[in-house]
């Protein structure tokens, strides 16, 4: 239990400090955050992987969005790429999440 709390605390730190994203945890985003961190931790991902996975879920909610959302997606994907060296699963998480080159091009990433 303590390990899970510590892991989630580290994921929140990465989200806030490295991805400039302050999720509503606890709150509305809590269930999605808990599910993402549980899954990523169970397959051996570190806090960077957990943050990337959670961010991808959030970005997935913005499909077909306006220009402001496309800019937000582009900015977050740029930050995610910078985390690849610290995230052993990072690149595969993005590809497994089915973010295609066309989708990246659509947001200018």
67-91 per-position pLDDT tens digit: 888 888 889 989 998 999 999 988 7
Domain ranges (residues) in the chain: 2-106
In this structure, the number of other CB atoms found within 10 A of the CB of residue 29 comes to: 15
Output the pLDDT for position 79: 93
With a cut of 70, say whether residue 103 has pLDDT above it: no
Show the CA angle centred on residue 72, arms to residues 75 and 45, nearest 5°: 65
Interior angle at CA 47, CA 43 and CA 52, nearest 5: 85
pLDDT level of residue 1 (50, 70, 90 thresholds):
low
pLDDT digits (tens, 9 = 90+) for 47-69: 999 999 999 888 888 766 688 88
Task: Determine the pLDDT at residue 13.
Answer: 97
pTM: 0.83
């Amino acid at each position: 239990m303590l390990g899970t709390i510590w892991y989630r605390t580290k994921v929140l730190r990465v989200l806030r400090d490295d991805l400039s994203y302050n999720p509503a945890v606890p709150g509305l985003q809590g269930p999605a955050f808990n599910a993402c961190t549980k899954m990523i931790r169970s397959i051996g991902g570190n806090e960077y992987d957990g943050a990337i996975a959670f961010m991808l879920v959030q970005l997935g909610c913005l499909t077909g969005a306006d220009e402001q959302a496309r800019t937000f997606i582009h900015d977050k994907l740029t930050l995610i790429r910078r985390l690849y060296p610290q995230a052993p699963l990072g690149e595969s998480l993005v590809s497994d999440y089915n973010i295609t080159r066309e989708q990246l091009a659509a947001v200018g990433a």
